[in-house]
Structure 1
Amino acid sequence: MIYQFDVPQDQEGRTAATAALLVYAIYRSRDKRQFKVSPEMWGQIERLTKAAAKRARSPWDFIESLKPRLCCPSINPKWVEVGATGRVVSLGDGSFAEFPGSDQREFLTGVLNEADGRAVVDALYKHTSWVIALVRDRLEREKPIESQFAKDIEEESL
């Protein structure tokens, strides 16, 4: 598992997981009143993803192109949490200490700085069906805890 997506633990898997995380974050952050769930929704998302990736030169270009298509005003940091805020520090005597992440929110900057941007955009364009399948798989696995997500988001907005 990379970023909660079921992909191989290699560079291609990391690239696919990064691509899926972009679509997942935008999908989850969309305005649900404007872009509603429908029987044709996933076909539409697949087409919109491919179209956004077609001319994108970087993941940031892709994000800027896909957000308005999925009625996403801005990406909610809740949906890009990847657990990267913790730190491991060498103590100098050969041992390490792990400091858990703070309450600081995560954004896509760290994930995309580590990724090969061109490879991510290529995965979004050339392997769109796989990327969308990864997103749908994660969403399906999250269904049992969906109500907790709604409570967390409601508490954040207060």
Structure 2
Amino acid sequence: MLYNFSTDNVRYAKAAQLLYALYKSRDTSSPMNGVETWNRVEAYCKGACKKSRTTSEFVTKFKEMGKVGAIKPKYMANPEHKAHRLVMPDGTVLESDSIREFNAEILQDDEVRKTIETDYCLIVFLVRERIEREKAIATASEEEEENEED
């Protein structure tokens, strides 16, 4: 499991992380909210890939199509990292839970766009599976809290 996705393939995990962040950062008025959510996500993946050559261009096109504002850094963070690192200009390394992880290298890796283009069905499926797992964990936590209160 990489980036909290059910895959050991780094390319798939990076592509899923980017798509996850785009989806989770969507606006309330996004067409990705509603009945046809995942059909739209797949369509936006295909459309944005056709209109882009780089991963950064893909993100720009996907954001336009899906009405996504700024990507929220918390959704780009690798959940496997407990503390995040920040390298200062002088080479000093800071490590803290309060440092946000942006994973900008994913946006610079043009293989991510190619992976989404060729394997968008799998990438969307990985994202959906992670979201369902997170919902199940949240529900279980809420039930535990309710049982503790009784």
> Normalising to structure 1: TM-score of the pair?
0.72
For the pair 1:127 / 2:141, whether they are aligned, the reply is no
| 3-state DSSP of counterpart to 1:105 | coil
Per-residue deviation, 1:145: 4.7
2:101 equivalent among 93, 101, 106: 106
The runs of 4+ residues in structure 1 deviating greater than 4 Å are: none
Per-residue deviation, 1:100: 5.3
Q: CA RMSD in A?
A: 2.2
Q: Distance in 2 between matches of 1:41 and 1:80?
A: 21
Q: Distance in 2 between matches of 1:112 and 1:44?
A: 22
Gaps of 5+ in 1: 88-98, 148-158
Per-residue deviation, 1:37: 2.7
Distance 1:135 1:119, change over 3 A: same
Q: What is the correspondence of 1:1-158 to structure 2 with a 5 Å cutoff?
A: 1-8=1-8, 13-35=9-31, 37-82=33-78, 83=81, 85-86=84-85, 101-112=96-107, 117-146=109-138
Deviations 1:96-139 (A, max 9, x none): xxx853411111314445xxx23211111111100100100010
Per-residue deviation, 1:6: 0.8
Distance 1:42 1:31, change over 3 A: same
Per-residue deviation, 1:64: 0.8
> Normalising to structure 2: TM-score of the pair?
0.75
Per-residue deviation, 1:86: 4.4
Letter aligned with residue 23 of structure 1: L
- Aligned identity (percent) is 31
